[in-house]
Amino acid sequence: MKNIAQTRLFTIAALLCAVALGGCAGGSSRIEMPDVSDQAGPAPAAPQTQLITEQLIAAEKLQREQRAHQALGHLVVADPPPYKIGPGDILSIVVWDHPELAGHGLVASSSSAEAGTTTTPPQGFVVDYEGKVQFPFAGALKLAGLTEEQARSLLTQRLARYIAQPNVTLRVQSYRSKRIYMDGEVRLPGLQAINDIPMTLLEALNRAGGLQPTADQSRIVLERAKKRYNLDLRDLVQKGVNPGAILLLNGDVVRVHSRDESKVFVSGEVVTPKALTMHNGRLSLNEALGESGGISPMTGDARQVFVVRKAAEGTRIFQLDARQKGALAMAEAFELHPKDLVYVAASPLANWHRGLSLLFPGALTQAVGVTTRP
C-alpha cells in the first residue's frame, strides 16, 4: 500500500511539472486558453500600486493638515457678530410715557400658523417677509439685517418727528428667523433657533444634549450652501483650536456620525478576518493587522500587504513589504480611512498547494497521509 501511495504521489508531481513546464519542452503540452479579448473588449487598466514609504506617509499627513486648515479658515470666527433681526422675529417695542403705543394686538394673525402651533403667540411686532415692521407714527420700518441697537436708533429718529425726546426700548422677544438642524448621534436631534447667544458648534452640541456614547467625535459633518466640511473634535483640540470658535449660520446642518459607520475591513491571509471599528477616526495599519491576529504564518505573504481605498480621484492601492527594516514603524504611522480594505496575499507555496488541490481534490492529502503512516 505504501508503494502504491508513493507511486501516486510521484505521478501527481510529474503531471504538475508537465503542465507547468510543458511549454518549455516544445510547446506541445502547453494548455491553450481561449482568447476572449476580442469578444469582451480590452480590460480596464488596474490602479497603480503605491509602496508605503516614509515619504508617502509624510505626504498623506500633509494633505490631511491642508484640508483641515482650509475648512477651518472658513468656519472659525474669533469675534462673533451680534444678532441681526430677520423676517419672522417678534419684537418687543416700548415707548416710555406713551402707553398708547404699546402695540397690543398688532401681532400678525398668521404667526401661530407659521410656527405650527395653536398656542397664543406673544404680544409684539412681527417682522414681515419683507423685513419691515409697522409702528404708529413711524410707518413701515425696514429692520431686517439690523441689530437691536441699530433698530432702536432708527425708530427713535422716526418718532422724534412727533414726540419730543422719545425714550425707546427695543428687543427681540421671539427668535424665529434663523435656525440650524442637528442630526445623528446626539441626544436631542432637531431644529435649534439662533438667538442672541452665538450659535457655535459647542453651543449647538450642548443644546442637543451632548453626544451619544456611539458617536464618532472625528466625523462631525457640517453642510453649508452645498458644501460639506468634515470636523474632528479631537484633532481640533490637539491643534489648539477651540471648537467654540466655529460659528454656525442660518440653514446649517450638523450631522454626527456613528462609530459603526467608520469601519475597516481586514481579509486575506490573516488569522482572523474581520471588520474593525475605528477609535474615533484613528486606526493604523499595524493596529488593524494586530487586532486581526496578524499575518498567517502558514499561508500569508508578508511582502504583499495591500490597502485598497476608494478616493474621490478613483481607487488607490498601497502596498507594504513587512519584511523590510522599519516596516512595523511605517505600518504604525500609516493611518487608515473609513471603508479601507486591508488585504494580505497568499504566499507562492500556499497558492501552489491550493492549485494542486483544485486539480486533484484530496489526492495529495491521501497520498501524504499514507506515506506518513508507520
Q: What is residue 190's three-state secondary structure?
A: strand
Topology classification of domain 262-374: Outer membrane lipoprotein wza fold like (3.10.560)
- Taking only the tens of pLDDT, the chain with its 374 residues reads 555 545 554 555 554 454 444 444 444 434 344 454 455 556 566 778 899 999 999 998 888 877 766 667 778 888 899 999 999 999 999 999 888 777 544 444 444 434 444 455 557 899 999 999 999 888 899 999 999 999 999 999 999 998 888 999 999 999 999 999 999 999 999 999 999 999 999 999 999 999 999 999 888 999 998 888 888 888 888 888 888 899 999 999 999 999 888 899 999 999 999 999 998 788 999 999 999 999 999 999 999 999 999 987 889 999 999 888 889 899 999 999 989 999 999 998 888 878 777 777 765 555 555 455 55
- Provide the CA 135 distance to its chain's centre, in angstroms: 49
Rounded to whole angstroms, the Cα distance separating 294 from 343 reads 12
What is the reported pTM?
0.70
Q: What is the pLDDT of residue 21?
A: 44
Counting Cα atoms < 13 Å in the Cβ hemisphere of 320 gives: 28
Angle at 280 between CA 277 and CA 281, to 5 degrees: 80
Amino acid at 80: P
Residues near 260 by beta carbon (within 8 Å), at least 6 away in sequence:
214, 277
Sign of CA dihedral 289, 292, 294, 298: negative
Rounded to whole angstroms, the Cα distance separating 274 from 264 reads 9
Check: CATH 2.40.160.50 for 90-174? no
Three cell numbers, residue 203: 453651543
DSSP state of 196: S
Domain locations along the chain: 90-174, 178-258, 262-374
Q: Which helix (H) or strand (E) element contains residue 311?
A: strand 300-311
Name the phi and psi angles at 206, rounded to 5.
-65, -40
- CATH class, domain 178-258, is alpha beta
204-235 burial, b at 16+ Cβ within 10 Å, e below that, comes to bbebbeebbeebbbbbbebebeeeebebbbeb
Domains 90-174 and 262-374 share a fold: no
> Do 121 and 115 contact (CB within 8 A), yes or no?
yes
Q: 219: closest CA among 230, 234, 227?
A: 230
Q: What is the pLDDT of residue 18?
A: 46
* End-to-end Cα distance, the chain: 12
Rounded to whole angstroms, the Cα distance separating 276 from 185 reads 20
